[in-house]
Structure 1
Amino acid sequence: MTEPTGLVSERGAEQVSDAPATAETPPPTQSSQVTFTVYQGPPLDTIRSLVASHFLVKDAFIDQYGIPTIQVAAEPPHEKFRTLLKELAQHNLIGAIRGAGDTLTVRVFPKPQRKGSRTTLNLALFFATVATVLAAGYFNWSNADLFTVLVEPSSVLTKASLFAVGLLAIIGLHEFGHKAATNHHGLDATFPYFIPGPPPVGTFGALISLRGPPENRDQLFDLGLSGPVVGFIVTIVIAIFSLLLSTTVSPAIAQQLITGGATQDLGFCLPLVGATPNVSCEAPLLLIVGRILMPATAQGSLLFPNQELWFAAHIGALLTFLNIVPAWQLDGGHVSRAMFGPSGHRTATLIGLVILFMSGYLVFAFFLLIMMNLTRRGFAGVEPLDDVSPVSNSRKLLYLL
């Protein structure tokens, strides 16, 4: 089983996905967990003036942690706070807004310093992952059994290459889906870090690192949803290509496979018209739909999609499922945090863990529990700077769909 691809943040900014809390200054209240380094910036009066140009200020003070804190009258802050963030950025500052009832609280922090690009590391990990995925493909299809000889007699290198192209396309474009979302919202993020792994998959996925927290829940929603959506679309495309490269086995060869004992584990196949019931193979929904598109075949034939691309698509579907589980800081966790806020996200995480345990993904469920403990954030999700404004109505509708 592979680790899902995901989106993380670098130290110095709030974590986004699939890394420990970053700040060195403890939060003043439990409702504000986004923390940064000790404030060193313009005087309080300057900060108050900036905030007062957008909100009705009730009070302004330096709290016990040395953080400029401005209390303002409650009103929909979405657009006003986005404008305030741009003005704070001119002073190398960043802000967070929290609260409920008739008072909202704006806290101002030094903007986290941007770390340099590590393109060399990105490339090194990518090429290492290409090598390990190719090796996994070679390991998976190096045995010249009866099925290989009769159904897919192509070279092992060809099989390994097809598998690598299919799988890396799914994982890589999943990450570039996240990257596209960060670019759309003007957020700074790295290129993907691929993670090499052992056979039979050859990789533990990939991640990108976000160098700053999302501004609001809309951005958090988009960051979480973009990767799985793109990854799932690519998975379907790879599965379709596996059908286009499928092999139809004649009744005579099907009988040879049965006689030779090669039907115990034929991988993914679809018995066509009148195929013998002695053949044991998996027939997922897409294969059944694909049967409609295939030309008529002789009685007793079998249809095999390209096994290498189909296996890559199978892994892609698994990655998508694991990523959209609404738990912790998985992509689905980002979406649930954006939709339901802190308390709803904790409930969603519990539900997500139950889903993983009940569906048999025990290793991954325990992995999440370990990561939740190691990062010392427990059930906490990613916190946008504006954690007051809800997601837009269009995103709520998209979530329901």
Structure 2
Amino acid sequence: PTLVVGLSLSRLTPLPPDFSGLSLGEPLLFQFISWLIFGSVPEGLSVNLHPMGFAAWFGLLATALNLFPIGQLDGGHLTYAVFGKRSTFITLCMLCITALLTFWSRSWVVWAILLAVMLVVFGPRHPPTLDEDLPLDRSRQIVGLMALVILVLCFTPIPIEPFELIKNP
């Protein structure tokens, strides 16, 4: 509801001719709700986010971060529940892939830093559970799949990016 209300209170505004600033990456869920409210945003206009819209954007970022498969984060719990002790390998692979992506695009540096901090704070390993060999039932497997869908909807590869509007002569 916060995203819908926040975007509804936001306005389309024209960009100044020589605008430069920061651009917020738009997760799929944000893009979809924005499209429902504004349709296709014409060239030269930008969504000027209402503070509630910005709070919702930050909530999507925090949700995506929380669903990464690291230690005591929710994503770490889910990964451990589904993959057991192999979850540590998945965590380290995910961190290596993110680090490698920083060579492809500097925009991944934000995620690499956030994930490295989380890895230092929470560690790569999940503590053992009371019954390691208990398999997940169908409903818990569905919960794991739903969490993956939520991660995809809330994730943006470029959370914050410098933006410069270059005026054509």
The normalised TM-score by structure 1 is 0.29
Q: How does 1:1-400 map to 2 (within 5 A)?
A: 237-249=1-13, 254=14, 258=16, 261=18, 263-265=19-21, 284-292=31-39, 302=45, 304-342=47-85, 344-357=86-99, 358=101, 359-360=108-109, 361-371=111-121, 379-400=124-145
Q: Which structure has the higher relative contact order (CA within 8 Å, separation 6+)?
A: 2
Distance 1:300 1:339, change over 3 A: closer
Contact 2:10 2:53 in 1 (8 A): no
Contact 1:353 1:365 in 2 (8 A): yes
CA offsets, 1:19-73, max 9 Å, x none? xxxxxxxxxxxxxxxxxxxxxxxxxxxxxxxxxxxxxxxxxxxxxxxxxxxxxxx
Give the superposition deviation at 1:305: 4.7
What residue ranges of structure 2 are gaps of 5+ in the alignment?
A: 25-29, 102-107, 147-169
Residue identity opposite 1:304 in structure 2? V
Residue identity opposite 1:333 in structure 2? G
Residue identity opposite 1:396 in structure 2? Q
C-alpha distance in structure 2 between counterparts of 1:264 and 1:337, whole Å: 43
Distance 1:239 1:305, change over 3 A: farther
Instruction: Give the % identical residues.
Output: 27
Q: CA RMSD in A?
A: 3.2
Contact 1:346 1:380 in 2 (8 A): yes
C-alpha distance in structure 2 between counterparts of 1:303 and 1:367, whole Å: 32
Higher Cα Rg: structure 1 or 2?
1
Distance 1:247 1:365, change over 3 A: closer
The normalised TM-score by structure 2 is 0.61
More helix by share: 2
* SS of structure 2 residue aligned to 1:265: strand
Residue identity opposite 2:53 in structure 1? W
Distance 1:307 1:396, change over 3 A: same
